[in-house]
Structure 1
Amino acid sequence: MLRYTLKRLASLVLSLIVASAVIFLVVEVAPGDTASFMLGLNAQPDTIAALRAELGLDQPKLTRYVSWVGGMLTGDFGTSYTYRTPVADMIADRLWISLPLALYALTLSTLLAFPAGILAASRRGGAGDVSVMTATQLGVAIPNFWFAMLLVLVFAINLRWFSAGGFPGWDDPVAAVKALTLPAIALALPQAAILARVMRSALIDILGEDFIRTARAKGLTRSQALWRHGLRNAMIPVLTILGLQFAFLLAGAIIIEQVFFLPGLGRLIFQAITQRDLIVVESVVMLLVFAVIIVNFAVDLAYAAVDPRLRSRS
């Protein structure tokens, strides 16, 4: 297990190095000059040059890349060009919205998908299976931003059970969770549909294996074989989807945050792009990539815990 973990850790470090270089290069080659954008069309060349020097944009790209990476390793993400405040502070303020929202949505997705997928697999071809597959097809087909607007219309405007948007802060945890409920549901629906279908397919494949038939021959019922032997062996593809879903929910909630006016990471990066605040864009994207890689690393370790054969191959 130690050798397996070290190999995955080395892959993690290499992925982070490559990702940081790609992010920096992609952002830097984007057309337009930050200083010119900030000062406007009528700015004088010497004023633009002075602002570029103040922001450090006149330094060679390699120097700026090394400084940026070195700062991130010590927790210093630089200073925002637009707001002149530390990027780390801006990220920390927004992370306390985006991270709970992602975890909330992932929890709802899992609570919906696992029972639905297990029910569909255990009732393959029956009414339960058809009902679950129909519902998941709708869940995959419906755009989450459209579903979000429908939730606002029904539960915020008509029923007035929730607010239509905004975030009151964590001083009142009940109000904060309530404000995240509709966005979490909007994010969770399509993810739950995908996860339920993966769970069903994985269980159906496992239930056709020889060791399941052996278990049934020894006297176990179909339900007992499913819960004792099938579910654990079907978890590898499900864990993959769970890891990818968490990364998507954390990084891909830009539209939902716009619909509900949530000041999270998605909205921060959207504002930074429109304002050409490159240091914010680079740092937030790198943080999200780091989250994705860490989640994948955790999923790899979970693979080894679920399937010991993976440890023996490493």
Structure 2
Amino acid sequence: MLRYLGSRLLSLCLSLAVASLVIFAAIEVVPGDPASFMLGLNAEPDTVAALRQELGLEGGYVERYLAWTGGMLHGDFGTSYTYRVPVSELIIARLWVSLPLTIFALIISTAIAIPAGVWAASRRGRPADILVMGTTQLGMAVPNFWFAMILVLIFAINLGWFAAGGFPGWEAGFFTALKSLVLPALSLALFQASILARVMRSSLLETLDQDYVRTARAKGLSRRLAIRNHAMRNAMIPVMTIVGLQFSNLIAGAIIIENVFFLPGLGRLVFQAITQRDLIVVESVVMILVFAVILVNFLVDLSYAVIDPRLRRRR
């Protein structure tokens, strides 16, 4: 188990190092000068040079990359070109919106998908199975931003149960703030729940065809107990892989959803920073999002060892 944990930690560190190189290189190849963009077309050359010096845009690529990564290790992400405040303050303020939204959407999609997939697999070929598969096909075909507008039209405008957008802040009360995230989380969860339900069904059907499950059934165990006691644990391994991948999809989808619902999250911050060419904010936020995705995949790898005891004994 310790060797398995060490290999996963090494993989996490290498992934972060490669990701930082790719992000820095992608930002640096963007044409144009941030200082010239901020000051306008008629800015004097010495003014542009002074601003470049202030923003830390002088020096070679290697020097700037090492300064950027070294600062991140100490919690210093630099200063925003536009907001003139430390990037870490912007990230922390917006993270308290994006992270709960992503976790909420992941909980909703998992809570819907796993029971639906198990229900469809236990009734293979019956009307219930056809209904679940048809619904998931529809859920995969509907864009999340279109579904978000439908939810706003029904539950915000017509019924008045939820607000059409905005975020009151956690200081307004936990349930008040959580209520404002219900529609965005549902918009994000629909597509992911459809995929996860189909994966759950396919994985469980494959497990139910294994010899040990048929042997348990032949000994008189009911289908429900055979699924719960024997099939579910092995069927959950590919499902956990998809759950880890869905976290990154939810983060990417949140960029659109946060703009639809006017949520002050990381996705909206990245969108605004791109339009304003605030490159230090873009690369720092993207690095934080990449770290979150890699960390979740690391936790998913550890969950394999919990679900499958064979990984704990593997050398």
- Shorter-chain-normalised TM-score: which range? over 0.9
- Please list every run of 5 or more consecutive structure 2 residues that lacks an aligned counterpart in the other structure: none
Cα deviation, residue 49, structure 1: 1.1
Maintained 8 Å contact 1:164/1:260 = yes
In the alignment, does 2:197 pair up with 1:214?
A: no
Q: Deviations over 1:47-97 (max 9, x none)?
A: 111111111101211111101111111111111111110101100000000
- Between the aligned partners of 1:251 and 1:142, the Cα distance in structure 2 is 16
Cα deviation, residue 191, structure 1: 0.7
1:18 aligned partner, one-letter code: V
1:175 corresponding residue in structure 2: 176
- Between the aligned partners of 2:91 and 2:25, the Cα distance in structure 1 is 21
- Between the aligned partners of 1:229 and 1:313, the Cα distance in structure 2 is 21
1:129 corresponding residue in structure 2: 129
1:165 match: secondary structure:
coil
Cα deviation, residue 41, structure 1: 1.1
In the alignment, does 2:165 pair up with 1:200?
A: no
- Between the aligned partners of 2:88 and 2:241, the Cα distance in structure 1 is 30
Maintained 8 Å contact 2:188/2:253 = no
Cα deviation, residue 46, structure 1: 1.5
1:278 corresponding residue in structure 2: 279
Maintained 8 Å contact 1:35/1:51 = yes
2:263 match: secondary structure:
coil
1:306 corresponding residue in structure 2: 307
- Between the aligned partners of 1:275 and 1:61, the Cα distance in structure 2 is 22
Cα deviation, residue 248, structure 1: 2.1
Which deviates the most, 211-220 or 132-141? Answer: 211-220
- Between the aligned partners of 2:129 and 2:239, the Cα distance in structure 1 is 18
Cα deviation, residue 301, structure 1: 0.6
1:55 corresponding residue in structure 2: 55
1:19 aligned partner, one-letter code: A
Q: How large is the Cα RMSD of the aligned pairs?
A: 0.9
2:231 corresponding residue in structure 1: 230
2:94 corresponding residue in structure 1: 94
**What is the TM-score normalised by the length of structure 2?**
0.98
Q: Deviations over 1:185-211 (max 9, x none)?
A: 101111111110000000000000111
In the alignment, does 2:140 pair up with 1:158?
A: no
**What is the TM-score normalised by the length of structure 1?**
0.98
2:248 aligned partner, one-letter code: A
2:13 match: secondary structure:
helix
Cα deviation, residue 20, structure 1: 0.4
Q: What is the identity percentage for the equivalent residue pairs of Structure 1 and Structure 2?
A: 69
- Between the aligned partners of 1:173 and 1:308, the Cα distance in structure 2 is 39
- Between the aligned partners of 1:252 and 1:70, the Cα distance in structure 2 is 30
1:83 corresponding residue in structure 2: 83
Cα deviation, residue 309, structure 1: 2.2
Cα deviation, residue 281, structure 1: 0.6
Maintained 8 Å contact 1:12/1:297 = yes
- Between the aligned partners of 1:309 and 1:278, the Cα distance in structure 2 is 46
Maintained 8 Å contact 1:212/1:229 = yes
1:42 corresponding residue in structure 2: 42
Q: How many residue pairs align between the two structures?
A: 314
4+ residue runs of structure 1 moved beyond 2 angstroms? 308-314
